Amino acid sequence: MTLRPSLVQKQGLKLRQIISPKIIQTLKTFQMSLQDLVESLETEAQTNVLLEIDSEDSLKSFKPSSTQTTEGLSQDTPVFNTKSLYDELMLQLELEHLPKKEHVIAKALIEELDDRGFIPHYPQVKEKLCRTFQVTERKVHDVLKIIQSFEPEGVGARDLKECLLIQLEHHQLDSDKLKTVLKTVISKHLDLLAENPKKLATLLNIEPEGVDALSVYIKNNFSPNPGAAYTTSSTRFVVPSFRLELHNQTPVLIPLEKQLLNQVHLSKHYENLLLDPATDEATKQYLQDQHNKATALLEQLQERIQKLNELVTYILNIQHDFCLNGPAYLKPLLQQEVAQNLGLSNSTVSRILSSKYIETPYGHLLLKTLCPRRTFGKTSIKLKELIKDLIQKNPKWSDQKLANTLHEEGISISRRTLAKYRASLNIQSSYKRES
């Protein structure tokens, strides 16, 4: 079917509106990690006379340094994480509480990952695992899908196309049209996107500017190398945007980025020059342009900090048990639910959670860790901790009551299985505990 020219033009216009430069810049601002944001502010201050930073030293607390160690950290000192990609994935695997066979298959698949986080020669790997563990190809594929749900987004892919498609599924875009176009480009036309954008514009029935916007969007929001941040030989630095502290068993959230607002501001000198009647028109026009850019940047910074604070406060209110007791007490929380309750877009929430860290008494965690997508299980050790704690607080509860309570917390466990865990903890049944 051939689309009418007017319809093609409308589609092209709508697509350009969806992925306009302003929207792309907004998404990019929210996606930035804290250190990337600081570097962006420093770069802008070097080229924009209306934007001032108090001093270079004032931003040091937001930037990692290879000379720093984790010992003797001051309140604002960045920390770093030396986990390899293997360590990171194994940690997430433990939280899945998979059956033993699936667990060993997953571990074997993780061991096959290259430095990019890809599984090269997957057909040979699959055949080997099927033979070693006496399982079907479908079983290996299902376990691979679990690994592909881990962080970093795109890990476990078999090639670049699959890597980008995995990331696309994680992005939770607000526009179905944009998602469809991106999926088409990634699945079928990556080569044209780089080599012949005009031909791609014709195939997609959009204007060339729309293809340019798509290219920028993919470059800014997708990574062809998800394992790049994890190496066995170098240090991966993490600068948190928040700190969670416990004051007399009361969670207190400290927004670290808020300090930026006191250190970055408009230049009084050049503002006065802009308002001075003696300033020539050409200079005034230049200063006005710079003033508009600086003001927009500061507004974006203010909006970022405000939305971040609202979002993390909301999440931690739900994850109150985590705040007090650690990751074993995380509850399932969908990003879509967070977005709806805060009046934010799915894409905004997704980008914030995927690029920001929080310092907690239990380590430095990606915010996305606080929003488990699935009704997840626990490792045997952590499940025992939950059951033991629940029994200590409610010694008269039966195994069925305990199982029902865990169900309400998103942990699927039968009464019989719970009884086995209770017995392994050398805890008697409720009947004997009462007597």
Give one DSSP letter per residue of 108-149, joined into a string. HHHHT--TTS--TTHHHHHHHHHHHHT--HHHHHHHHHHHTT
Q: Which residues contact 99 (CB under 8 A, 6 or more apart)?
A: none
Q: What is the CATH number of the domain that holds 389?
A: 1.10.10.60
Residues 109 and 173 reside in one and the same domain: yes
Q: Report the pLDDT value the prediction gives residue 386, as an integer from 0 to 100.
A: 79
Distance from C-alpha of 387 to C-alpha of 409, rounded to nearest angstrom: 12
Domain identity same for 132 and 167: yes
Note whether 390 and 402 are within 8 A (CB): yes
- Does residue 67 fall inside a structural domain? no
Q: Which two tokens stand for residue 26?
A: 């907004």
Are 191 and 279 part of one and the same domain?
no
Angle between helices 268-275 and 281-318 (to 10 degrees): 140
Judge whether 4 lies within some domain.
Answer: no
Residue ending a domain, choose from 180, 215, 233: 233
Please check whether residues 95 and 225 belong to one and the same domain.
yes
Please indicate, yes or no, whether residues 405 and 264 belong to a single structural domain of this protein: no
Examine residue 78 and state whether it is found in any structural domain, yes or no. Answer: no
Same-domain pairing of 97 and 151: yes
| Residue 94 and residue 210 share a domain | yes
**What is the Cα gyration radius of the chain?**
26
C-alpha span between 402 and 420 (Å, rounded)? 13
170 assigned to some structural domain: yes
Whether 55 and 174 share a structural domain: no
Give me the residues paired with residue 80 across strands: 237
pLDDT of residue 381: 58
Domain end position, chosen among 207, 233, 259: 233
| Per-residue pLDDT tens listing for the chain (435 residues) | 333 334 334 444 444 444 445 555 555 666 677 777 888 888 888 899 999 888 666 566 666 554 333 333 333 334 444 468 888 888 778 767 678 899 999 999 999 999 899 998 999 999 999 999 999 999 999 999 989 988 788 999 999 999 999 988 877 666 778 888 899 999 999 888 888 888 988 888 888 887 888 888 888 778 899 888 775 444 456 778 899 999 998 999 999 888 887 888 899 999 999 999 999 999 999 999 999 989 988 888 888 888 889 999 999 999 998 899 887 677 778 888 888 888 877 767 877 887 788 999 988 888 888 887 654 445 555 677 778 888 888 888 999 988 888 877 667 677 888 888 888 788 888 776 665
Helix/strand/coil for 245? strand
d(CA 31, CA 24): 10
Distance of CA 227 to the CA centre of its chain: 14
Contacts of 123 (CB under 8 A, 6+ apart): none
In this structure, the answer to whether residues 92 and 202 fall within a common structural domain is yes
- Give the CA distances from residue 20 to residues 210, 217, 293, 394, in Å, rounded to whole numbers and listed in that order: 9, 10, 17, 56
106 domain residue, yes or no = yes
Beta bridge partners of 357: 366
Judge if 99 and 132 occupy the same domain.
yes
Predicted pLDDT of residue 275: 92
Q: Which domain holds residue 318?
A: 11-61+238-370
Quick one: 254 and 393 in the same domain? Answer: no
Say how far apart CA 109 and CA 264 lie, in whole Å: 47
> How far apart (Å, rounded) are the C-alpha atoms in residues 234 and 227?
12
Instruction: Evaluate if pTM is beyond 0.75.
Output: no
Per the CB < 8 A criterion, the answer to whether 322 and 246 are in contact is no
Phi-psi region of 426 (alpha: psi -120 to 50; beta: other; left: phi over 0): left
What total number of domains does the chain contain?
3
206: left (phi over 0), alpha (psi -120 to 50) or beta: beta
The pLDDT value given to residue 320: 92
Report angle CA 383, 386, 390 to the nearest 5 degrees. 145
Of the three residues 334, 352, 370, the one that is the final residue of a domain is 370
Structural domain contains residue 72: no
> Helix (H, G, I), strand (E, B), or coil: what is residue 364?
strand
